[in-house]
Amino acid sequence: MQFCDECGSMMKKQDGVMQCSNCEYTAAQDSASDFVTTEAQSGDELIETEEGDNFEGKPTADDVVCDDCGHTKAWYTIKQTGAADEPPTRFFKCQDCGNRWREYN
């Protein structure tokens, strides 16, 4: 990973040179290291719980409504998905149909 000498932002490889994604500063690529480029993810399509996660036995919420079946009880777990100063995310699993969803506080 290479950072901009001008503003400190992360640089990306563009047309054979490294270009700052913030201030457009360009520089030669550092060393002969291989750089790996990944596609950006918005995060909206990601669910942080795995299909096999065992929700049974977790705390039960009775103040929610399942969008699939209308049942009003679900197991839930809490995970910190954002920065430490942001509220945690609650992940639910309907006790009736097994539908999964998340709620941001």
Asked if 61 and 74 count as a contact pair (C-beta separation under 8 A), the reply is: yes
Assess whether 86 carries a catalytic annotation: yes
Catalytic residue among 6, 86, 96, 103: 86
| Residues 6+ away with beta carbon under 8 Å from 92 | 61, 64, 74, 75, 76, 100, 101, 102, 103
Whether 5 is catalytic: no
Q: Considering the candidates 39, 51, 67, 85, report the single residue annotated as catalytic.
A: 85
- Which residues are the active-site residues? 85-86
